[in-house]
Structure 1
């Protein structure tokens, strides 16, 4: 389980009017613990008006490329932590930061010659920038294509970083900007390269996939951004008959969908029940009671067990644990693979016991 450490803020950089990047000064004795794979995130823990808040922010830096730990935080209306970071955080402040986590990562093979295709929207560019740096440097015979959706020119995060990569890899890297409300839709915006007006709906996504990717070469697709973009691109990929094994996704908010019913044996009652739970965490054993209809995570936190979590929305894997005894059902799941579920892993922020006794191992 990733641990939290007090880390000083080394630099705060204004990326756009409503987004800052934050560089952390990770001390030498923690460098090994904070080594990360491109696409991973850090979880920050802060007190806001006496309330403990945890939020996950993707690393936009790439370890081999940048040798730093930098995240990007976009101001969210009503967002407690994003407001604090954008408006109050200062260089020299200490923040509780977790060791890197996350599964939205590229599989690097320096001998491959393939196409990596990215769809990003808004701040969804954050992990994508890190992955682009890694792939372009590590797979000399591969190509990367980025479709990046924003409102207008001024909201494009990391414009200079992307242009630097274009200059560095002019043959291997192409960027296509899609602006829904450009400041001047008649002008050619040279700073933004190839661009189009509109939103990435199903029709546009399918056009981009068919026009600018080589489907016969079986490219790998990466999706990161708001729900509408994710859903549109997913549907377009299904139409283009792209297998799910070639699509990696990370939602930046919980998908607006009804929880899916879990597949179950009709002879077995899978309704949530009150359960006596044994929690294994950091080589310690805790006994708690999980009320019927309550998630394992909520019950653990309510009863003094500092079980790990971040999003509470089934979109990260911070709270993942293994059911060693008993059974539980998840209300939602957007990150665990089928084989992991078969092995007994659950997202405890979504898992509710369906047996009177259950053993949950966070150390598995």
Structure 2
């Protein structure tokens, strides 16, 4: 067997090297585009869903290490992308598929990576790399292939350590839409929601549209006036999406959320939106050692005791007390969900204003559908507010 088999397109792979900021390196072969990629090294434990993972804007400026050894088996199709492009900075796999085999496939994964300029590396020990990241934590990394890989590793390490860290990075506005757009409700429209795009995945507004919600997706730079202009009489609810970066940098979005909470407009946030709700309530956030990424993370709903298997992608978390009701500027709040692996806060619930959030991805693209009920909970909040306003009007008449 040749040590350097041709790619599905007939190209011979070039030498490549992965260099971590602590100096450890892994040598392999090029995968996708040839060149240089810099970012934060993170690992994803999903065995499927690599297309959704690569196109998730939350992976902006990150180099994804896939723990599943075989990647690319089902190719790439035209339906499963979660945004308009691949957002990952680089891609690391052990054994790339020699060819794709799936009735929905339109092209090979490696061709897609090459066409979009995504530099990757293959034929390295991803198990050893993942164990290293678990022990040492997520860190900056460089993937170099072709001519770039021929440079001394000391020079490559200097390139890696000169790259920016994820702490202090304000990235949501880099991945957000620049123009507002509408995802219409399917069937009869029941509610209108203003969704702030901090890195939103396409499946999220689709999940709301399936429930009769007309979703107005707004840029991350939107003001309170922009939000309140949604709908005939303002939005029935406000949604904050997932997204990349350090939540401590999102002062504009946090201020906007505080204004929404002050007006008691029903609010639902996921992932980055959960972290922003935490900061709006006065809690801190912190960077996890290596984060939660994949589609098999166990989370417990503390109200019901039910355990959900959930899809995750986050490197920051909310610092809130697990076993106490906290007093906040918007009334009482508590932790609603917790990760069973490490007790990380996975959800927040406000008791005096209509707001809640979760740290994971209930749209499940890719992933299990255990958490889809959270969209129904959003509808319940909006319906309760509508009923309350109708009752107030009846009282005024009498």
Question: Quick check: TM above 0.5?
Answer: no
TM-score, scaled relative to structure 2: 0.30
